[in-house]
A and B are shown apart, each in its own frame.
Chain A
């Protein structure tokens, strides 16, 4: 279980997070929604230690994420970045097997390659893709490779940062289905950031909406449409009129 309490983060005078309280239960898929620039990505990066919060606590299974062996902590996570963040200088299979070729999870090269090809197959990519380089793939294929890399070491927790941004609706649907399947079959805890309401409905067990640097609403996906919260209603229906200013 991931628990955030009173997490704040400012960049100069820009107060991005103003006291976020959030609980992500184990083996559940939590989707974070909210407008652009509301600190959703910063929140994920705070959990991973890529950004240091100014105050507040973040715990994983009751233990402060800043304590203990950092490598062991990170080994529990997989992350799909918004743009894929594939390493240009490495081939596709080397990207997917990156964690399996170094550090405590290191395996023989042939075994790492086999696992990479299996994970590529899992996300719907042919083995022939393995020896290509990221620049040779389309955006949708890069997302799939990023997804394969995120699950390669079978992590307990997977973060997805805007997994369908920049994809056509069909490819977005494919990625959403893949995420849902993988999270279900692996029994992983998932946190997804998205603006895409079709993603929310496809992926989420629970939803949290961030606005004004705080969690405005959180609850099961089944209750999202019925909530009277005007901020949530404006966001999920994409209305220009409402309490959220369209010009920020």
Chain B
């Protein structure tokens, strides 16, 4: 019995984890099923676009700028070991649009937006606003979740696109200002080696990450415990779950898009 106890504990944790994944998946499936059925709440969608997309632009832009700049320095330093400094523009651009743009953008949005959604909906739950919605013949899934999912899925790819441009610009600034690249040559190399699917795959990842962020925020908000502690826990769980799910989804999507 004593030997089996740790295995039992491990089994309970595993089953608990799988059950949680199942609950999130069911929640996501229900949310998706509402995407195509009226009523649609246009005003809530536009507000969510503003909050998730537009207001996340500064943090995503700054993240991309510094990441692109650091990436150019790293590639230059690494490339110098085998006389390949000239690849800085192309590798910086490919690295930004395929990986760092969508992943870091997604993680920044997860930190900013999943927390905000979970806290807002969690507070609505503990103050009975969700119950009030139901008594006012309004489905909370349609009114709260669907607009946020649509807005995040639509706006995060745009953020990633803008972040890609800013990240490449960060690399260009370092490349031309610190590493001695000619500006026109840097931009030409960036453009020549970048393929459509490099950018497209990053934008698809952005859409997937936006969906994940909104689902996690809404799920943990809707299932928030009571009181300030419950809302705090929901907020923390939403950010952690969204971040881990983004990294896992990134690996899976990279396998799907780029495995030989």
Contact = CB atoms under 8 A, between A and B. Distances in A.
Chain A partners chain B: yes
Interface of A: 45, 48-50, 70-71, 74-75, 77-79, 81-83, 85-89, 98-99, 102-104, 149
A48 B47 CA distance: 30
A213 B135 CA distance: 24
A79 B135 CA distance: 7
A81 B134 contact: no
Residue of B123, B129, B131, B132 with most partner-chain A CB within 10 A:
B132
A129 to B, nearest CB: 19
Contacts of B132: 79, 81, 85-87
Interface string B26-50: 0000000000000101000001000
Contact of B138 (A48, A79, A102): A102
Nearest to A98: B136
A99 B131 contact: no
Q: Assign chain B's interface to a size class.
A: 10 to 19
Contact of B134 (A74, A78, A89): A74
A48 B135 contact: yes
A85 B131 contact: yes
Contacts of B135: 48, 50, 74, 77-79
A134 B20 CA distance: 35
Interface string B124-161: 10011101101111100000000000000000000000
A89 B137 CA distance: 18
Given A49-B134, A89-B47, A102-B39, 14 more contacts: A45-B131, A48-B135, A50-B131, A74-B135, A77-B135, A78-B135, A81-B131, A82-B128, A85-B131, A85-B132, A88-B123, A102-B138, A103-B137, A103-B138
A71 B136 CA distance: 9
Interface of B: 39, 41, 47, 123-124, 127-129, 131-132, 134-138
A71 B124 CA distance: 21
A228 to B, nearest CB: 37
30 contacts: A45-B131, A48-B134, A48-B135, A49-B134, A50-B131, A50-B134, A70-B137, A71-B137, A74-B135, A74-B136, A75-B137, A77-B135, A78-B135, A79-B135, A82-B128, A83-B127, A83-B128, A85-B127, A85-B128, A85-B129, A87-B124, A88-B124, A89-B47, A98-B138, A102-B39, A102-B41, A102-B138, A103-B39, A104-B137, A149-B136
Contacts of B129: 85-88
A12 to B, nearest CB: 14
A99 B132 CA distance: 11
A79 B136 CA distance: 9
